[in-house]
Structure 1
């Protein structure tokens, strides 16, 4: 048996062991197995590269230096990725590129769903596109989920104190309250039709085509799930009419433990209202961040602006309509845990788009949002 085959068997065993430990909530042991898995994957890649080298007849296939392939890494990366997605055979040069260190490397196919996980190098293109939009996910506590469902232990609030004791007296034994965050990963996806004529070019940047449409929808979906958790904080948001209401929210209403990471989340209407706030000397209270001019701060706290189309301003009354903009103040990273199954899966189908001479590309990401500490965020409304 080849060394790479032995290592592949070890990798499969370690994956199975890690999944079982995760399901049994033995997290410390699961982490240790995960470290062993990383080492095994690394050894597997090295063994494959060595086997490829040994199988090559360098003397028989030697070519002059000027005959070296002129294909760039970027083009080759696209070619290899596209062929794997569409199930096409790789030639020897493409196989060598796939197994080289620093290139897409080995990724796991998911036969049950007919998909292919996007390699780390190419998923960076998708992440670059996502940065163009307001991502609330970046403000949460992002956790990598090792399975589709699980629990994460957390420590509850602690308000007790240490006990004074004299020498030879026993120290009082207090209770520790533990809780758990339960998550259940859901699939979110999009179907992107692509012309078959275009797909005949295996060197095209398929991730670029997918990313233009998928990235924004992915951000919108994540934001919607996060905003749904914020909306559930209370049925009656606290009213704010002046800048002093925001100051009180930060200094008094919010627990001091959350003050350092506190931010202000509002929509475009709320941001416009804040931009008109002035102090006694008629100086604006909303000021740009010196280090990041596109970011604004109120009393040193970042203001995150969300589109009105996603975080809507409410309207009540007939005749004279009262408009109220939502505002959330607190530490989002303490409030919400974002569990994600790492990676984006791509799958294709030529049958569904047969009448249009198109291939349908399905892109899927998996995540769940769980409230970790409801006291970390407070809900408000600003009358415009």
Structure 2
């Protein structure tokens, strides 16, 4: 049984207990409603379980006729050839004729960036790892594209333009011209340099691939989180809605958001915002944020809207005079934002670039291409709550990097070592230097990672 089915079973058990508890408390109507929800959960589980069984039967059939073994063997050969190519690039071995044939026959081969393309199976594993619980990518629309640039056309307010009444045998009237909007995209190069030791490159193919997958997934997730938050701030700039209490929050969902959007809305906030929401109580003294009965580890605002918490480093609060403003994004991010993903990963390897030779390390430059665009800017609202502090907001280390900005060395040198490392982390760079190192080393590391990310 896969993880999704296991989670659904946990939800079903929790819902059964909820029905029992409500019955004991004499809340029969609530218990009946919960029982209907239980039936719905059970029906979903049964359908997915049947699909899983079909998949298992198919795998067993392939195993019986030897197809599965051939697929596994081919996957291992491709992964082995990929690792051998990395080792060969730094003189740790030679590519065999079979390795060369496999690499040449791979559809991935090379792309517009050059370098060695990461095999599909490894890319798939990276994709699964980067979509962990704290990944904002799960909340937005993601579209795979095969070209570097293009466009999509969407119709505005299609659901708000009704048909006219038509009498029998009468001509059908012209429907009002729909409002179409063109969304252009142009995928941009993202990347960074992973510095690895010679000892790691001498390890097994399995360990090298495992290390690469975790590192790439971590950086890809940080990159997407940053891009999404930057786009959210761009969409909502100068239109932030101040909130003081419950009534302000209710107004956002009841009036400011379109009812169709409110039905699928969620809340995204940082640790500061989550803490504020988690302490709000209604007139009866009950907390307005409650656990989601179908997902025990998740919470709901007003019993309806899922709340997603991200770290303060990922989505910083903004220091202002007298305190700091915490961001609370309300709405449907899938309607608001689309990521156009080329779904390619390429790498270059060098042990002589920069200071790698001096430190006996190898640099693996990783690149991917994607773009992010707003689709429906009215689908989200940025709420802000002011938290007053005695130090006038100095306690908040608010760094809001600009995605497209190229920082000069002079600008970076003005920052403290801690802020340089924090800025690099927020931009998705792999900062090997730490705040404990000499400032010159931290500055040099940031500039090197920025150059790699720009494809220089």
TM-score of the pair, normalised by structure 2? 0.61
Using a 3 Å threshold, how does the CA distance of structure 1 residues 171 and 74 change in structure 2: closer, same or farther? closer
**How far apart are the structure 2 equivalents of 1:107 and 1:173?**
49
d(CA) in 2 for partners of 1:185 and 1:247?
38
2:119 match: 119
* Deviation (angstroms), 1:375: 0.8
* Distance in 1, Cα, partners of 2:183 & 2:279: 41
Aligned residue-pair number: 304
- Give the alignment of 1:38-57 within 5 angstroms: none
Aligned mates of 1:148, 1:111 — CA distance in 2: 11
Q: Provide the C-alpha distance between the structure 1 equivalents of 2:174 and 2:186, rounded to a whole number of angstroms.
A: 36
Instruction: Name the residue aligned to 2:161.
Output: 160
The structure whose residues are more often helix, as a share, is 2
The answer for the alignment partner of 1:310 in structure 2 is 314
Deviation at residue 302 of structure 1 after TM alignment: 0.6
Mark the CA change 1:380 to 1:242 in structure 2 (over 3 Å): closer, same or farther: same
2:349 matched residue in structure 1: 348
Q: Is the 8 A contact 1:133 1:216 kept in 2?
A: no
Question: How far apart in 2 are the matches of 1:132 and 1:315?
Answer: 29
Counterpart position of 1:357: 360
Shift of 1:290: 2.7
* 8 Å contact from structure 2 (residues 131, 138) kept in 1: no
> Is 1:221 equivalent to 2:223 in the alignment?
yes
Check the 8 A contact 1:83/1:202 in 2, yes or no: no
Residue aligning to 2:451: none
Q: Residues 178 and 86 from structure 1, CA distance in 2 versus in 1: closer, same or farther, beyond 3 angstroms?
A: farther
Distance in 2 separating the partners of 1:181 and 1:112:
24
Residues 198/313 of structure 1: CA separation in 2 closer, same or farther (3 Å cut): closer
Partner of 2:397: none
Where does structure 1 lack aligned partners over 5 or more consecutive residues?
1-70, 100-104
Q: 2:290 aligns with which of 266, 287, 297?
A: 287
| Structure 2 unpaired stretches of 5+ | 1-71, 89-93, 388-456
After superposition, the C-alpha distances for 1:188-239 in whole angstroms (9 at most, x for unaligned) are 1010122234313452432322234332222222112111121122314111
- TM-score, normalised to structure 1, is 0.72
Aligned 8 A contact 1:193 1:358 in 2: yes
1:189 alignment partner in structure 2: 191
Contact 2:140 2:333 in 1 (8 A): yes
SS at match of 2:286: coil
SS at match of 1:166: coil
CA RMSD of aligned residues (A): 2.7
Contact kept? 2:129, 2:214, Cα under 8 Å: yes
SS at match of 1:89: coil
Cα distance change, pair 72–177 in 1 and its aligned pair in 2 (3 A): closer
Deviates more, 1:115-124 or 1:273-282: 115-124
Q: CA deviation at 1:135?
A: 1.3
Deviations 1:6-56 (A, max 9, x none): xxxxxxxxxxxxxxxxxxxxxxxxxxxxxxxxxxxxxxxxxxxxxxxxxxx
Query: What displacement does 1:333 show?
Result: 0.2
2:150–2:186: 8 Å Cα contact kept in structure 1? yes
Task: Tell me if the contact between 1:181 and 1:370 (Cα under 8 Å) persists in the aligned partners.
Answer: yes
Structure 2 vs 1, CA of residues 365 and 133 (structure 1 numbering), >3 Å: closer, same or farther?
farther
Separation (CA, whole Å) in 2 of partners of 1:142 and 1:132: 15
Distance 1:112 1:142, change over 3 A: closer
Structure 2 residue matching 1:164: 3-state secondary structure: coil
Contact 2:131/2:221 (8 A) holds in 1: no
Partner of 2:130: 130
* 1:337 pairs with 2:341: no
Which of the numbers 82, 90, 93 marks the counterpart of 2:96? 90
Identify which range, 326-335 or 354-363, moves more after superposition. Answer: 354-363
Counterpart CA distance in 2 for 1:242 and 1:201 is 56
Describe the shift of the 1:111–1:304 C-alpha distance in structure 2 as closer, same or farther (beyond 3 A). Answer: closer
Single out whichever of 369-378 and 307-316 deviates more from structure 2.
307-316
Provide the rounded CA distance (Å) in 2 between the counterparts of 1:171 and 1:266: 49
1:147 pairs with 2:147: yes
Q: Deviations over 1:133-160 (max 9, x none)?
A: 6211111110011111100121122333
What does residue 411 of structure 2 align with? none
